[in-house]
Structure 1
Amino acid sequence: MSVPPPPRAEPVLFEAVITPARSLDRASARMVALLLALPVAATAAMFAWLGAWPVMGFMGAELGLVLGLLARHHRRSARQIEIVQLAAGRLTVTRHDGRGRREEAALDPYWSRVSLRERAGTACELRLTAPRGPSVEIGRCLGDAERRELAAALAAALRRYREPRFDNPQLRD
């Protein structure tokens, strides 16, 4: 008995992995925590000196709450990701949000178009549209310049997919 070979994976023609900007690393997060704790400690010491020592517990709880929410936001933004992938015959947009939920939209790359719509006063909107399919917004966490760059790269990849160039050595001069 012979075992059939595993199916070949489709070649990926274009892939964009989009993650939100994260400006705080571990050292910066510690610095923010220290900058938040110093005024709280000074104020708590002043209240203790005035004899209102029960206020210290509330101020400590408030600081703990703020730092906990900051850490939670930091962890959730680390898990957020959006992947736009063009493979042979399929254009997929996969999103993972901070809570672990996953969304996926599949479009036909031959009919899909990249649409960059300008909006007054806010960032532009980048969408993948199809005449009879879904319209998917991509690059929600990107700025204007990054959205324009992604739109140009994705439009070029879709153009190459729809209009392939074949190199036949026999037809060369």
Structure 2
Amino acid sequence: MAVPPVPSEPLLFEAVITPPRGLGRAGLRALALLLALPAAGAAALFAALGAWPVTGFLGGELGLVLGLIALHRRRSARRLEIVQLTAGRLTVTRCDGRGRREEESLDPYWSRVALRERAGAACELHLTAPRRRAVEIGRDLGDAERRDLAAALSAALRRYREPLFDNPQLRE
């Protein structure tokens, strides 16, 4: 798993986004069993018919499918997206399943959160800034989580742009 960058300034907001892990070890075992039972039945049928060399292909196919599922699980466990707001910048850091890292920095004062609704599809969440392309965030989130992230990040940016100053001399 990638280690998030350590900001030199204090964090005002941070969101760590990981893809959902839908299949645990027990689920993977159950899936392997569900895939192995029909393959074993077909292998027994082919062996009874005298076409025993086909059983090796069925076993190879089963191993390939299970290996690809395990590879997908391992790579999705490494995926990570971090949105950090500090006093000087808004940073979006992405790490993909292969360990490649991508970082985008925006000026937090001019950045805006845009939630784009699409008919019949999931909404999109973007960070926009003048003279820059929009940066999509929260790709691995569902609609409800994207809306929550949009509300929380908008509130954090609003607090950054409009700070409350407490001067004891002005209190009554």
* TM-score, with length taken from structure 2: 0.93
**How far apart are residue 130 of structure 1 and its match?**
0.3
**How far apart are residue 34 of structure 1 and its match?**
1.1
Q: Does 1:147 align with 2:146?
A: yes
DSSP-derived class of the 2:156 partner: helix
**How far apart are residue 118 of structure 1 and its match?**
1.0
Q: Does 1:172 align with 2:146?
A: no
**How far apart are residue 111 of structure 1 and its match?**
0.2
Aligned match of 1:69: 68
CA contact (8 A) 1:12 1:87 kept: yes
DSSP-derived class of the 2:110 partner: coil
CA contact (8 A) 1:18 1:81 kept: yes
Structure 1: which 5+ residue stretches go unaligned?
Answer: 1-7
Q: Does 1:124 align with 2:123?
A: yes
Measure, in 2, the Cα distance between the counterparts of 1:39 and 1:57.
Answer: 14
* Residues 7-56 of structure 1, C-alpha deviations (whole Å, 9 max, x = no match): x9311000000011111111111111111111111111111111110110
DSSP-derived class of the 1:95 partner: strand
- The percent of aligned pairs where both chains have the same amino acid is 77
**How far apart are residue 88 of structure 1 and its match?**
1.0
DSSP-derived class of the 1:151 partner: helix
Q: Which amino acid aligns with 1:143?
A: G
DSSP-derived class of the 2:23 partner: coil
Aligned match of 1:157: 156
Aligned match of 1:59: 58
Q: Which amino acid aligns with 2:122?
A: A
**How far apart are residue 105 of structure 1 and its match?**
0.3
DSSP-derived class of the 2:140 partner: coil
Aligned match of 1:91: 90
Q: Which amino acid aligns with 2:126?
A: R
Runs of at least 4 residues off by over 3 Å: none
* Residues 46-100 of structure 1, C-alpha deviations (whole Å, 9 max, x = no match): 1111111011000000000000000000000000000000011110000001111
CA contact (8 A) 1:107 1:134 kept: no
Q: Which amino acid aligns with 1:79?
A: R
Measure, in 2, the Cα distance between the counterparts of 1:134 and 1:13.
Answer: 24
Output the aligned Cα RMSD. 1.2
Aligned residues: 166
DSSP-derived class of the 1:104 partner: strand
**How far apart are residue 119 of structure 1 and its match?**
1.1
* TM-score, with length taken from structure 1: 0.92
